Amino acid sequence: MAVIGAGFGGIAAALALKPRHDVLMIDRAHDVGGTWLLNDYPGAACDVPSHLCSFSFEQRRDWPRLCSPRDEIIAYIRRLAAKHRLEPTLRSREVAELFIFQRTRTDPVVVDGDAVNGYAVDCIIYATGFKATDFVLPLRITARGRALQDA
């Protein structure tokens, strides 16, 4: 299974799937964190109480402020990813060009003799968040079956 995005949504999906499935997380950023990783400006902080930025199954009760700064939220996300060993499943700095639906593999895909940045998967979960404004999903039929290609 492929999870596109490594922010809160992608991490939640990966953690839910990981006990029963092989999971591949793909994110174009250099690390986990999603919007919190990308919003790197002076004074970036949560505008709601910080405990709302904790998963119910992994509560953090010692936030330094009512509305914690971005770096504290990123640290929480990184600790969570490390604790649950998500790093080996993450392909960072990557934009998947092609997915071929196939129920048995998550190997790189070769189409027409050219290696593409693609994966054979049986399910795709899009957790790209609102910062992924250039995300497009045209459907393409290949000799191996249906494939989805993003731009």
Q: Is 112 helix (H, G, I), strand (E, B) or coil?
A: coil
Q: What pLDDT was estimated at residue 119?
A: 66
The CA distance from 100 to 140, in Å, is 10
What CATH number is given for 2-148 in this structure?
3.50.50.60
Please state which of the ranges 108-112, 119-123, 141-145 shows the lowest mean pLDDT.
141-145
Mean per-residue pLDDT over the chain, rounded:
77
The CA distance from 151 to 149, in Å, is 7
Task: For residue 133, give Cα distances in angstroms to 39, 75, 99, 128, 129.
Answer: 15, 25, 20, 9, 9
Q: In this predicted model, what pLDDT tens digit does every residue of 29-66 receive, in sequence order? A: 899 998 888 888 899 999 999 888 889 889 988 898 99
- pTM (predicted TM-score): 0.75
